[in-house]
Structure 1
């Protein structure tokens, strides 16, 4: 028998209980509660919810035995340390009454589809330990919105329509879902708009705690506008990245085609092309400071137009040969061991005691300072 078969059916075979709850249905005032930790759940949402099997399996079993199949989801910013019990006093003011559909169990997790129905506020505790049971009050919103509320509703719809093309995650089905909202029914529209944003959980909880519709809209519209701006910026960045990638791919393909054409025609590269390719290959994988990169690029461009027989070509080529051969971006550790330095000098050089002493003196100063800076060491005689 599979794990899923051990979980009672949340939705029975009775067709009257399998469909989504409809507006105007009587909602229960005694509910079991489950905390969620990612972000608040809004009344306008229909989404899957995943919780730990332990200890919430018992709660879902009790919900399955009710006629309404409803419970309350409350957002908690910080999950309890043991992952199970929590302090009821840490719950926020408002949560969301949801109806449960299609519960299943897998790998120690319980998953169910939650249909948000109403804001609820705890009016009393019937059980302050597992399974938590409370009495709730349902938030009331005016059914006849003012002109200002309708104007905010139109602004929300326009902002959402701006946001949809900016994010490929928003499907055509979601656009059709939006068309069912009306400025004349602003509460679910406002909650839906808040749920679309990526605002932090605490900011979204403030929206959930705000029952007056106009104040709630005043909180949600800036969040939605910010989401639109972020979406536009992401789209611009993606377009710029794609443009650069396409340019590099185009250059790569053109170079490969040129190589193939030269091979087909039996054309060998001239010295200039070979030098340029050799220098560019040396630079691959090296991290150059921006001024150095610009200078080398300028010299490469100059080399590409010079005649190979000109004196300036030889000077430029020698400079690039030196500059591209340096270990850019590679740093070594100074070895300031004076005894080892003395052994190396004696092994490779006979006599020259004064010069060896000068080198050891220079290294000793570096060891004292902790570093050896780039210096010209005078070994013989005074400066000219």
Structure 2
């Protein structure tokens, strides 16, 4: 930072150049030949005092030559908004700023010099067009009288605009206000240059200010820049106010919520999230018969949850795992209704005909009644589409009084759909069977595996092979889901599978199932189905009263014979 005497010398030198008489001040006699340095992004103004960074390998020779000169004066020339390190004499501006080097400091490959802007120079001739750049210059005077009332009015307007700008934008420090106090309307040229230098205008606009020698014209341009700067600062202030208001509101809500949590915790009204989660998981396990190995693993995860921070990613993974593990129906079974007459009544209620199929299902239930439990067998219903395979599975669940869950295997290509993903993967989930048990909340539901003949295979694995462990009564006692990594007993689950054909079902899988074929319906059975089931359903679906529309048996027979397969 230059002292007061340096700035006084600059101003006095300017007066001398305007024709004033008096002593010759050292700064008023500036050299006619200057070494040049490029300044990118923004031109340097006579009113500025600030440091500049340079690359030593490019400008070491220039700095040494300037340092050998007694007055340490050189020129700075704007070289474009890009971070250029060279000057193109053919496209470079002709107006630059003569500066005095006050301090130089070298560190590794860079040098920092503190320079003070002295006066505009105009290039008359390029002596050296390559580094070190040397030019012959003159120092043009400001065009126009500086003591006119119009100039003074513009100067006062510039000072007022700068003060308003400093009040709006806090980025301008007290140091800039002190600079402002050092200028007066009697020094209009330096005042205008200082005003332009503190704006955030782009380099080309600022160079236009440098090139403008008429004082009034330069003042007009600077006032426009200051007006634009004020508009930007006001907009920035509004944005900051909105952001701060939003942040303050969110902070206030956050602190109030945290205070409320502390108060509730002190009064025993509520607990923090981690404690609430742990207690909820422990409450879920009450009354359930969890195997010892599974209980140990769950307890380990609960202990981990108690020490983890709620904001950590591992907390979310552990909590999600415990949510699944504790929601499973460990040892929770629904009581079977092994009443054969009731079972036959339910089958007759939902299905017309199919007496052989009903007899076979009744025999299956009779064996279960004799044993005291229905388990160990897998029913496979085979038949063309539309014969009621899925609805028979639902009727079996209703006859037994068990929960029913159905999912389709058609097009399944990933064995993880059956056995789950390992917890190491992002977004890991348990398999369909674990999801089914969580939904039905009992360990002995009726699970229907629809379209088992349409299971696919890909590089992800073979779902049909994964089903072997599920459907084999000797293996599914200790079914292992990859996500849970705990054994679960599926032996009490009654699996009902459906298929349109047997050709595409793997032999080992087909051997584990008891096949029941549904060939179709006789014409009389179709007539009863249409009259007792389909027609009432259609009337209800279309909102028509059965008294307003009727259909006779002949019409139904015509549809059955001519259109139904």
Same fold flag (TM > 0.5): yes
Q: TM-score range by the shorter chain?
A: 0.5 to 0.7
Return closer, same or farther for 1:144/1:245 CA change in 2, 3 Å cut-off.
closer
Alignment deviations for residues 53-109 of structure 1 (CA, whole Å, 9 cap, x no partner) = 12211111111111221111000116687x4x5431121121100011111111211
Alignment deviations for residues 213-255 of structure 1 (CA, whole Å, 9 cap, x no partner) = 1111111111111111111121221122111111111112212
Return closer, same or farther for 1:243/1:169 CA change in 2, 3 Å cut-off.
same
Does the 8 Å contact 2:165/2:233 carry over to 1? yes
Return closer, same or farther for 1:268/1:218 CA change in 2, 3 Å cut-off.
closer
Partner of 1:98: 99
Does the 8 Å contact 2:41/2:81 carry over to 1? no
Alignment deviations for residues 155-210 of structure 1 (CA, whole Å, 9 cap, x no partner) = 11111001112222322222121022122221111111110111111111111111
User: Does the alignment pair 1:343 with 2:344?
Assistant: no
1:281-292 equivalences in 2 (<5 Å): none
Partner of 1:118: 119
Partner of 2:239: 237
Paired with 2:47 and 2:81, the residues of 1 have a C-alpha distance of 24
**SS of 1:351's equivalent?**
strand
User: Does the alignment pair 1:33 with 2:36?
Assistant: yes
1:22-171 equivalences in 2 (<5 Å): 22-23=10-11, 24=13, 25-77=28-80, 83=85, 85-141=86-142, 142=144, 144-171=146-173
Per-residue deviation, 1:351: 3.4
TM-score (norm. length: structure 1): 0.65
Return closer, same or farther for 1:254/1:87 CA change in 2, 3 Å cut-off.
closer
Per-residue deviation, 1:49: 0.9
Return closer, same or farther for 1:189/1:80 CA change in 2, 3 Å cut-off.
closer
Higher-RCO chain (CA-CA 8 Å, sequence separation at least 6): 1
Query: If you compute each CA radius of gyration, which structure gives the higher value, 1 or 2?
Result: 2
Does the 8 Å contact 2:209/2:222 carry over to 1? yes
Partner of 1:203: 205
Paired with 1:258 and 1:55, the residues of 2 have a C-alpha distance of 64
Does the 8 Å contact 1:80/1:86 carry over to 2? no
Per-residue deviation, 1:125: 1.9
Return closer, same or farther for 1:59/1:259 CA change in 2, 3 Å cut-off.
same
Alignment deviations for residues 245-301 of structure 1 (CA, whole Å, 9 cap, x no partner) = 1111111221222222222223358xxxx9xxx9xxxxx9xxxxxxxxxxxxxxxxx
Per-residue deviation, 1:19: 5.4
Paired with 1:30 and 1:253, the residues of 2 have a C-alpha distance of 67
Q: Which runs of 5+ in 1 are unaligned?
A: 1-10, 279-283, 285-336, 355-379
Per-residue deviation, 1:146: 2.4
**Which of residues 256, 275, 285 is equivalent to 1:254?**
256
Number of matched pairs: 278
Alignment deviations for residues 128-176 of structure 1 (CA, whole Å, 9 cap, x no partner) = 2221111101120145332222221111111100111222232222212
Paired with 2:198 and 2:81, the residues of 1 have a C-alpha distance of 22
Partner of 1:322: none
- Aligned alpha-carbon RMSD (Å): 3.2
**SS of 1:203's equivalent?**
helix
Paired with 2:239 and 2:95, the residues of 1 have a C-alpha distance of 38
TM-score (norm. length: structure 2): 0.45
**SS of 1:90's equivalent?**
coil
Return closer, same or farther for 1:268/1:113 CA change in 2, 3 Å cut-off.
closer
**SS of 2:264's equivalent?**
helix
Return closer, same or farther for 1:78/1:250 CA change in 2, 3 Å cut-off.
closer
**SS of 1:88's equivalent?**
coil
